[in-house]
Structure 1
Amino acid sequence: MNISARNQLKGKVASIQEGAVNAIVTLKTDGGNNFTSTISKEAVKELGLAPGKEAMAVIKATEVMIGLGEMKLSARNQLAGEIVNVQEGPVNAIVTVKTDGGNTLCSTISIAAIKELGLAPGIKAKAVIKSTSVMIAV
């Protein structure tokens, strides 16, 4: 299957915590980062997820926020790294962050946000993703 999501990170399921309806799946990527995904228990069953199973975290670039400095947020995925590229368009830009864990993530954000935050290659930043925005594929 080919999909348009820019962020597709291979790894293995590290853990699954099941609740009444949903489960929290933690995926350790080949690049060394942990991604937390909140998906339905039914999806866990249908995908045959279990610790050690190979899987992929799939995240649309529009779901990746960029933050600077220390932040207290409820978003479970906050990956520190460095901006390696900013590709500006007329309205939006694609910001590429190389995480300290070795993964590369792309974020689509507005030009206004680029200017307000002073984003440029070499700036230390965090890629922030809510666990409900992380899909799991097998």
Structure 2
Amino acid sequence: MKVSARNVFNGTVASLQEGAVNAEVKVALGGGDQLTAIVTMDSAHSLELAPGKAVTALIKAPWVMLMTEHADIRLSARNCLTGTVKTVEMGAVNAEVTLTLAGGAEIYSVVTKEAVAELGLKPGTSATAVIKASNVILGVPA
């Protein structure tokens, strides 16, 4: 599968909680890392999602926000994945930041150069990737 999303994670459905309109899907990525996705019930049924099913989670890099110094902040975003900055690639306007998560997975974020400076992002810095569950797209093998 070739996709334009920078973040592609293979995992398995750890749990599925169905609601009237949406389903909450927790995806185990391995190494203890986990993503939460919100999909419509139609999508959950058409993808035949169930615990143990292999899935691919896609997240575009601009949908990944970064934060540091967050000890006393509570967010509504379901995915707050803490890691260490591996690389910062500066562009003319934006930068691509690569975080290595605790379980070994890498996640990419595209943020402004100003955000890199304000957050003090550089290799070795601790940072948290923040992703809304509705920005996690799930796919299954055809």
Q: Structure 2 length as normaliser, TM-score?
A: 0.94
Could you say which residue in structure 2 is the equivalent of 1:18? 18
Could you say which residue in structure 1 is the equivalent of 2:42? 42
Q: Find the aligned partners of 1:119 and 1:36 in 2 and give their Cα distance.
A: 25
Aligned alpha-carbon RMSD (Å): 0.9
Amino acid aligned to 1:38: I
Q: Does 1:129 align with 2:122?
A: no
Could you say which residue in structure 1 is the equivalent of 2:114? 112
Matched-pair contact (CA < 8 Å) for 1:81–1:98: yes
Q: Give aligned pairs, total.
A: 138
Matches within 5 A, 1:1-138: 1-69=1-69, 70=71, 71-138=73-140
Matched-pair contact (CA < 8 Å) for 2:80–2:128: yes
Q: Find the aligned partners of 1:62 and 1:112 in 2 and give their Cα distance.
A: 15
Amino acid aligned to 1:77: N
Question: What SS does the corresponding residue of 2:38 show, helix, strand or coil?
Answer: strand
Question: What SS does the corresponding residue of 1:106 show, helix, strand or coil?
Answer: strand
Matched-pair contact (CA < 8 Å) for 2:30–2:103: no
Amino acid aligned to 2:94: N
Large movers: runs of 4+ above 3 Å: none
Question: What SS does the corresponding residue of 1:95 show, helix, strand or coil?
Answer: strand
Residue 31 of structure 1 and its aligned partner are, at CA, apart by 4.1
Question: What SS does the corresponding residue of 2:57 show, helix, strand or coil?
Answer: strand
Q: Deviations over 1:81-126 (max 9, x none)?
A: 1000000000000000001122100000000111111111100010
Q: Find the aligned partners of 1:5 and 1:31 in 2 and give their Cα distance.
A: 22
Instruction: Point out where structure 2 has 5 or more consecutive residues left out of the alignment.
Output: none
Amino acid aligned to 1:36: T
Residue identity over aligned pairs, in percent, reads: 46
Instruction: Point out where structure 1 has 5 or more consecutive residues left out of the alignment.
Output: none
